[in-house]
Amino acid sequence: MTNADATELLLSLVRTPSPSGDEAAAAAVLAEWSTAHGLEPEVDDTAVRIVIEGERPGPTLLMASHLDTVPSGDGWSVPPTAGVVKDGRLTARGAVDAKASVSAMAAAAAELAAAGGPAAGRLVVLATYSEETRDTSMPMALDRLGDPPDAAVVGEPTSLQPCIAQRGQLLLELHWSGDQVHAGWAAGRQPPPVNAINRAAQDLTALEALVFERSHPLLGSVAVTPTQLEAGVARNVTPPSCWAMLDIRTTPSYEHDEVVAMIRDRVSARIEVYSDRLVPAETPAGSKLLPAVMAARPAGTPFASPTCSDWVFLRHVDAIKLGPGDSRQSHTIDEWIELAEVRNATQIYTGIAREYLK
């Protein structure tokens, strides 16, 4: 087995479209490749699963990534599912996020199996579905593993640097009510009508002064950003309602419930929690996995990521996020990755498995 197999698998995967919810064909490609390389993949409605048992009992190391992609969108310079390679660079939807990680993890599993497996414990590779949506299959896939893994590597683009903390995302809907009257009469009306837009402006201004005193050493402070605002029924009518969405990027320094309570204390709006499942995560102090990662990637520089991933479902496990590709390429038009980085990822994943499962 050679490192080139990872890039060959990657080319097959990007040439097999797999938007979220439609991953069956890509799962079949991965399973066929795995079987051809001496592995015994299992495919179900949650993931493609590859298990390699060690020579003696020991811990379970999970390597997990996802097969689905966001839609391709318009404006590409090449067909997004053609898998165009030029000067060692692959341009395709999913090349970075995250089929490169899937391919390198599968290739690492094949390399480890060809060498007789790990010295102890077992390696599990999971390629899950619908990670890019609220319907990610990761929780069910983890349930089907039985006992939780002892450690996990989450395959997402980090330029092969070990990510040891990532922000969470808390989405809050803010609702304000007002009085609907003719705008021409509003100024002279007593008492003045309640203007939902004015109430929203006051609250959103107040949020700019909100201070989160507990700063995370790597991620810094919680960040609150209004991202959507809707109001008004006509240009000559005072608005009876106003609605806003807050995108709050959280850190392990605060529980989501704490953040919601702080927002409630600051505003007059009615608050609805739209999503709070993407909690922050970090590699635990005293991690046994991180030394294995650094042994396999001695030039690595641990860092913190502003982006979310399925790490949220492994936040109680000794875990890191690491994968080939630049995260800023995720979801972009003309998404690209250097194939040499995918080959390098195979060796790093193999090294991590050998070091942790020795």
Q: Kind of pairing, strands 120-128 and 47-53?
A: antiparallel
Final residue in a domain of this structure, among 242, 276, 310? 276
The residue type at 118: P
Do 97 and 219 lie in one domain? The reply is no
Domains in the chain: how many in total?
Answer: 2
Tell me, what's the pLDDT at 129?
A: 98
Final residue in a domain of this structure, among 276, 292, 319? 276
DSSP string, 209-261: T------BTTTBS-EEEEEEEEE-SSTTB--SEEEEEEEEEE-TTS-HHHHHH
Do 139 and 181 lie in one domain? The reply is no
Q: Is the dihedral of CA 117, 142, 63, 127 positive or negative?
A: positive
Residue 332 Cα to chain centre, angstroms:
15
Tell me, what's the pLDDT at 189?
A: 86
Q: CATH no. for residue 103?
A: 3.40.630.10
Final residue in a domain of this structure, among 276, 292, 315? 276
The residue type at 151: A
Do 24 and 153 lie in one domain? The reply is yes
Q: Kind of pairing, strands 241-250 and 168-177?
A: antiparallel
Kindly give the parts of the chain with pLDDT less than 70: 1-4
Do 294 and 233 lie in one domain? The reply is no
Picking from 132, 99, 153, the residue whose alpha carbon sits closest to that of residue 335 is: 99
The answer to whether 188 touches 305, Cβ cutoff 8 Å, is no
Q: Which two tokens stand for residue 350?
A: 């193999």
Tell me, what's the pLDDT at 4?
A: 45
Answer whether 0.95 is exceeded by the pTM: no
Range of the domain at 50: 4-166+280-356
pLDDT per residue as tens digits for the range 306-327: 888 999 999 999 999 999 999 9
The answer to whether 313 touches 65, Cβ cutoff 8 Å, is no
